[in-house]
Amino acid sequence: MTAVVLGIETSCDETGIGIVRGRELLANEIASSVDEHARFGGVVPEVASRAHLEAMVPALERACASAGLRLSDVDAIAVTAGPGLVGSLIVGVAAAKALGVGLGVPVYGVNHLTGHVVVDELQHGPLADPTIGLLVSGGHSSLLLVSDDTSSVTALGQTLDDAAGEAFDKVARLLGLPFPGGPAIDAAARDGDPTAIAFPRGLAGERDRYPYDFSFSGLKTAVARWVTARQRSGETVPVADVAASVQEAIADVLTDRLVAACRDTGAGHAVLGGGVAANSRLRAMAAARCERAGIELRVPRPGLCTDNGAMVAAVGARLVAAGVPASGLDFPATSTLAVGTRVVGGER
Ligand code: KG4
Ligand code: ZN
């Protein structure tokens, strides 16, 4: 019988509980503390940890109810062991271990970043081997080679400075848009002209040296300069045009590198993941460029792109199916867990 896996996600400001049976998604409950952070313009770690504590049991109950299951039906537990905010991770890891002991089921400490890439299996079925994953979130931007069914991923490249989501959030702040900035820029950009301002494409001239890497700090500085110059001269800042132009620059760089990685590795399949993959322009541009290059692109629905428990359960389901040993009960929460670390604490 296919295992029922409960996934717990608490790496940032979303408490996510997902339940899957193999690749079948049974529940995906999310409690977000984003409103509590908004007035600070960013996630406040201590506030996030406390919110996870309060949300954990109700979210578990809601997930079981919406899956029509009891906790005793769960065969294995997967939890984000990193990367993320350590105080937040600890809440999820402790909950997973307690449930593991209480229910007598194995616990897998898994990599949040892998979850962002493999979550698409819950929507579109098994990933092709090999697939190039473009992972773009608030803390990470990487191009990953996903090459087998046991959730091992290899980093081909990553951002040299800010993550794509961070760039969206910082630019939104400059424009006086609310936090989190990505959705706000996406919305503002709808009324703007993406060709209004030619913002820099980071590392554009350095393809040879950085074929699959990104850089967004120059973009952020360019936007700051552009906006400040307008403000100094008393002109109104055309928020929609700036938002559309910034979004265009970010989507351009990301999709350019994605297509290059597919072409160079011969991978005919690509998948997007992470909160920024919810961006409408990135989705459209990736679809158009991949189609032109003969690459089959898969993009999970926006609710599976941002942090959630189902993505963690999806990694757990792969590990269980592949017979990978569980983590035991002494694995740590690791805020800096590297891309490619498959399961924390197992296989020693
Ligand atoms: O993956 P995620 O939910 O959390 C992390 O693991 O970081 O990503 C959050 C990031 C934030 O920076 C947020 O601004 C960005 O994803 N984001 C978006 C959109 N929705 C969320 N960025 C651009 N466009 C969007 N529609
Ligand atoms: Zn994430």
Tell the residue number behind the tokens 């002109």, with chain if given: 235
Q: Side chain identity at 8, as an amino acid letter?
A: I
Q: Could you list the beta-strand ranges (E) of the chain.
A: 4-9, 14-21, 24-32, 76-82, 107-111, 131-136, 141-146, 153-158, 269-273, 296-298, 343-344
In tens, the pLDDT along 175-188 reads: 999 989 999 999 99
Check if 168 has its Cβ closer than 6 Å to any atom of ligand 1: yes
Whether the model clears a pTM of 0.85, i.e. scores above it, the answer is yes
Which residues make beta-bridge pairs with 21?
4, 24
CA–CA gap between residue 48 and residue 307 (Å, rounded): 14
| pLDDT value of position 149 | 59
Choose one of 276, 305, 335 to mutate for the ligand 1 pocket test, by most ligand atoms within 8 angstroms of C-beta: 276
Topology at the third CATH level for domain 129-302: Nucleotidyltransferase; domain 5 (3.30.420)
Nearest to 279 by CA among 119, 137, 116, 141: 137
Check if 133 has its Cβ closer than 6 Å to any atom of ligand 1: no
Structure tokens at 160: 């040299």
Residue 348: pLDDT band by 50, 70, 90 thresholds? Answer: very low
Q: Are strands 14-21 and 24-32 parallel, antiparallel or unpaired?
A: antiparallel
Nearest to 210 by CA among 142, 131, 293, 272: 142
Q: In the CATH hierarchy, which top-level class contains the domain 4-119+308-321?
A: alpha beta
Q: What is the mean pLDDT of residues 299-318?
A: 95
Check if 346 has its Cβ closer than 6 Å to any atom of ligand 1: no
pLDDT at 269 exceeding the cut of 50: yes
Check if 139 has its Cβ closer than 6 Å to any atom of ligand 1: yes
Specify the domain boundaries for CATH 3.30.420.40 within the chain.
4-119+308-321, 129-302
Residue 317: pLDDT band by 50, 70, 90 thresholds? Answer: very high
Question: What residues contact residue 319 under an 8 Å CB cut-off, 6+ apart?
Answer: 78, 108, 110, 150, 151, 342, 343
Structure tokens at 237: 């800042």
Residue 150: pLDDT band by 50, 70, 90 thresholds? Answer: low
Secondary structure of residue 303 in the 3-state scheme? helix
If you measure from the C-alpha of residue 310 to the centroid of ligand 1, how many angstroms do you get, rounded to a whole number? 17
Choose one of 306, 307, 312, 336 to mutate for the ligand 1 pocket test, by most ligand atoms within 8 angstroms of C-beta: 306
Structure tokens at 297: 């692109």
In tens, the pLDDT along 54-81 reads: 999 999 999 999 999 999 999 999 999 9
Secondary structure of residue 4 in the 3-state scheme? strand
CA–CA gap between residue 345 and residue 341 (Å, rounded): 10
In tens, the pLDDT along 201-238 reads: 988 788 888 899 999 999 999 999 999 999 999 999 99
Check if 276 has its Cβ closer than 6 Å to any atom of ligand 1: yes
pLDDT > 90 fraction of the chain, expressed in percent and rounded: 84
